[in-house]
């Protein structure tokens, strides 16, 4: 900290991080009468949110609550009460309160009618500013000063702010150019926080190098309507249908992201992981073998597969790339490859390329209101917590849900401190509900 720097006192709460989790925590605090100042390192808030919604903002998912909760894997039990209090239904109602109608797509993913994130963010910021939110951009958090004040690097030099309570919503470490760089990890570890190492989630994977022929023709091409199968870390078979994309270094895309948590753990344990591609999931194995075994006359096998199975393009080239040479002379073997084509994955792509990150503040080190046990008055939410989920609306929903828990917890803590130590000449604040989730549902129906 710059010697002699005097902190600026700001009564109320500081929210650090201007993504969806930070903005939602700020909204909850404001609704409870807590003054809020929000700090963000970037020139404007919500940058990752806007980029994620550029091709269509997948806000949440419409599947029933029980399977929805299970998408959070090992953390499902801990997230369940928070998702029950504010899950997909409440999130859609909250968006409606901003004038943003939503619809359920064919995959059960939920989108705004206009598809884009920008109209929702504009309406949200307008409401928050009307409620009194003060936004401080270009303020990069540097941790705590010895006196407990918050340190920030700003264009005007280092500043310090003293606040009554803090909500951290700093994100993980993917897409660092948008502000989520994981710089907070050593600062929190230095205070004794228990932080699981950050790792890529919803990410692509490297394979052994593709042949130059395949790479030059297929990098960037989509594998449409395929099925991916693998074994999870406990040896249980898993399978998903969807799409993938061939990259310069390996594979990525929706169906790969679904498996990424399992595949990352397998690679950590075994040094590599093997997945299997079903190139024609609409056809059963018997049908595929019958068509491959059909007499082909003078036609090449590639022409035969195109004629009998409509196996063309990147699928046909992937089969040529990965199937053993001897399989092309054995119809039964080749049919098995079409239905279960093995591919070795060597490593996840770098963390900064991932859609999201795993790891973060372990929930065991936080209270049920998401306050750091070793730092009273400091709360955390969003992707910086140690949970992960696949794409499909689950990431955003948990960011909103945990932010509401942290925001209400911070508001309760602030009120209790004010009751115990009221400022001179100030009336006692109105009491707040002490039940952790008492106000979460009603907050989902606020009107602009």
Q: What local confidence, expressed as pLDDT, does residue 53 receive? A: 65
What is the spatial distance between Cα 363 and Cα 360, in angstroms, rounded to a whole number? 9
Query: Residue 226 corresponds to which tokens in the numbers above?
Result: 């395929």
What distances in angstroms separate CA 72 from CA 51, 107, 231, 423, one per listed residue? Answer: 23, 19, 18, 43
372: exposed, middle or buried (Cβ count in 10 Å: 0-12, 13-18, 19+): buried
What confidence score (pLDDT) does residue 423 get? 66
Maximum separation of any 2 CA atoms in the chain, in Å: 97
**For residue 259, with 0-12 CB atoms within 10 Å meaning exposed, 13-18 middle and 19 or more buried, which class applies?**
buried
Encoding tokens for residue 227? Answer: 């099925």
- DSSP output for 272-332: -EEEEEES-TTS-HHHHHHHHHS--TTS-HHHHHHHHH---HHHHHHHHHHS-GGGGG-HH
Q: Which domains are assigned to the chain?
A: 8-201+358-443 (3.50.50.60), 205-348 (no CATH)
- pLDDT at residue 7, rounded to an integer: 82
Q: What does the pLDDT look like over 347-389, one tens digit per residue?
A: 999 998 999 999 999 999 999 999 999 999 999 999 999 999 9
Reduced to 3 states (helix: H, G, I; strand: E, B; else coil), residue 206 is strand
Strands (DSSP E) along 62-212, which ranges? 102-104, 109-112, 134-136, 140-144, 150-154, 157-168, 195-201, 205-207
Average pLDDT over residues 292-304: 90
Q: Which residues contact 259 (CB under 8 A, 6 or more apart)?
A: 228, 230, 238, 240, 275
Predicted pLDDT of residue 433:
37
Question: What is the DSSP secondary structure assignment for residue 80, as one 8-state letter?
Answer: H
Average pLDDT over residues 170-193: 87
Cα–Cα distance measured from residue 176 to residue 275, given in angstroms and rounded to the nearest whole number: 29
User: What residues contact residue 126 under an 8 Å CB cut-off, 6+ apart?
Assistant: 448
- pLDDT of amino acid 448: 27
pLDDT reported for residue 135: 96
- Rounded percentage of the chain residues whose pLDDT exceeds 90: 80
State in Å, rounded, how far the first CA of the chain is from the last one. 41
Instruction: Report the C-alpha gap between 129 and 27 in whole angstroms.
Output: 10
Residue 285, judged by CB atoms within 10 A of its CB (0-12, 13-18, 19+), counts as middle
Q: Are strands 102-104 and 60-61 parallel, antiparallel or unpaired?
A: unpaired
Q: Which of 2-16, 367-381, 425-439 has the lowest mean pLDDT?
A: 425-439
- Coil, strand or helix: which one is 153? strand
Read off the pLDDT of residues 136-177 as tens digits, 9 standing for 90 and up. Answer: 999 999 999 999 999 999 999 999 999 999 999 999 988 777
46 vs 109: CA distance, rounded Å: 21
pTM of the model: 0.87
- DSSP string for residues in 233-264: TTS-EEEEEEEEEE-SSEEESHHHHHHHHHHH
């Amino acid at each position: 900290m710059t010697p002699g720097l005097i902190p600026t006192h700001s009564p109320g709460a500081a929210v650090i991080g201007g993504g969806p989790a930070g903005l939602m925590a700020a909204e909850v605090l404001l609704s409870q009468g807590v003054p809020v100042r929000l700090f963000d390192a970037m020139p404007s808030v919500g940058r990752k949110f806007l980029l994620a919604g550029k091709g269509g903002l997948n806000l949440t998912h419409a599947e029933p609550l029980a399977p929805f909760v299970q998408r959070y894997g090992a953390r499902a039990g801990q997230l369940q009460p928070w998702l029950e209090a504010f899950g997909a239904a409440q999130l859609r109602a909250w968006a409606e309160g901003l004038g943003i109608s939503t619809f359920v797509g064919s995959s059960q993913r939920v989108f705004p009618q206009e598809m884009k994130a920008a109209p929702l963010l504009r309406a949200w910021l307008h409401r928050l500013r009307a409620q009194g939110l003060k936004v401080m951009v270009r303020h990069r958090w540097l941790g705590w000063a010895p006196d407990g004040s918050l340190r920030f690097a700003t264009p005007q030099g280092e500043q310090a702010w003293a606040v009554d309570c803090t909500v951290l919503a700093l994100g993980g470490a993917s897409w660092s150019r948008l502000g989520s760089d994981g710089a907070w990890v050593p600062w929190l570890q230095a205070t004794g926080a228990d932080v699981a190492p950050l790792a890529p989630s919803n990410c692509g994977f490297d394979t052994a190098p593709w042949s130059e022929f395949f790479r030059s023709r297929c990098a960037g091409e989509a594998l449409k309507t395929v099925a991916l199968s693998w074994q999870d870390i406990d040896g249980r078979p898993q399978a998903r249908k969807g799409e993938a994309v061939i990259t310069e270094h390996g594979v990525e895309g929706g169906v790969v992201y679904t498996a990424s948590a399992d595949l990352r753990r397998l690679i950590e344990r075994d040094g590599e992981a093997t997945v299997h591609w079903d190139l024609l999931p609409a056809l059963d194995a018997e049908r595929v073998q019958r068509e491959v075994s059909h007499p082909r006359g003078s036609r090449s096998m590639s022409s035969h597969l195109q004629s009998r199975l409509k196996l063309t393009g990147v699928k046909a080239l992937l089969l040529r790339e990965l199937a053993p040479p001897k399989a092309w002379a054995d119809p039964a073997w080749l049919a098995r490859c079409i239905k279960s084509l093995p591919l070795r994955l060597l490593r996840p792509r770098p963390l900064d390329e991932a859609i999201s990150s795993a790891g973060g503040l372990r929930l065991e080190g936080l209270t049920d209101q998401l306050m750091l046990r070793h730092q009273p008055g400091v709360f955390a939410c969003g992707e910086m917590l140690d949970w992960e989920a696949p794409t499909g609306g689950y990431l955003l929903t948990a960011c909103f849900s945990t932010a509401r828990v942290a925001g209400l917890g911070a508001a309760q803590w602030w009120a209790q401190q004010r009751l115990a130590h009221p400022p001179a000449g100030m009336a006692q604040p109105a009491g707040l509900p002490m039940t952790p989730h008492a106000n979460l549902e009603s907050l989902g129906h606020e009107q602009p």
